[in-house]
Amino acid sequence: MKILVPVKRVVDFNIKPRVKSDGSGVETAGLKMSMNPFDEIAVEEAVRLREKGIASEVVVVSIGVQQAQETLRTAMAMGADRALLVLSEESPEPLAVAKVLMKLVEKEQPHLVILGKQAIDDDMNATGQMLAGLLGWAQATFVSKIEIAENRARVHREIDGGLEELSLKLPAVITADLRLNEPRYATLPNIMKAKKKPIETLNAADLGVDMMPRLQILSVAEPANKKACVLVESVSELVEKLRNEAKVL
């Protein structure tokens, strides 16, 4: 069984990015970039399935600029076998990414695609769903447990009311939630080994995918500053504040 794991290069989750002065987006120049945290979870799950002997190969793919190679090397240091880099502009939209992934699914014929549930740069939460729609495959989003047996994936999904259990016929698309696992740190020997693993570079245009953006960013703004909290001493003080200071909408 082959597993394909798409990994996105995003601004590191520890960094608070600034909005560009012209409000056209977020300033990313010079910032530390890392693998999207949910994609680390997806890679970890795929590698565990290979270690258990359920999967035979884990292929990682990133769509973006040349530097996304570093993200692919990290995924291979965690245990992925090989990588595909599809060159395109900085941050392609989910539909374009899903179309590229569909072409790679045709080329690679995986039995399972495990994505992150969302990329933390723009929180789209759309690529996995769109890919499953384009392929006509079964899908399970927000997954916190995966068991593979008899050509089916039995999964737990995190939903508002608790957990939902689904049994999907393979091939399928799964998106990883936070509680699926705790990703490993790449060890130094594995980082060295990953340097020798192959990265195949392709162009989005060669795959025949139109990457033209369909979304237009009108403006990006910093969130409004929250007012400081006040601790009250007593219930009567609270009631007094509610009466006199609270704004009734």
Q: Which residues bind ligand AMP (CB under 6 A)?
A: 6-8, 36, 38-39, 62-64, 92, 94, 97, 115-116, 118-119, 124-128
Residue closest to ligand AMP, measured at CB: 116
- Least CB distance from residue 196 to ligand AMP, whole Å? 23
| Burial class of residue 126, CB neighbours in 10 A (0-12, 13-18, 19+) | middle
Nearer to ligand AMP, 125 or 190 (CB): 125
Nearer to ligand AMP, 132 or 194 (CB): 132
Angle ∠(135,56,34) on CA atoms, nearest 5:
70
Residue 22 CA: distances (Å) to CA of 27, 91, 222:
10, 19, 12
| Burial class of residue 191, CB neighbours in 10 A (0-12, 13-18, 19+) | middle
Strand partners, 139: 173
- Least CB distance from residue 141 to ligand AMP, whole Å? 10
- Least CB distance from residue 166 to ligand AMP, whole Å? 19
Nearer to ligand AMP, 120 or 230 (CB): 120
8 Å CB contact between 92 and 63: yes
- Least CB distance from residue 129 to ligand AMP, whole Å? 8
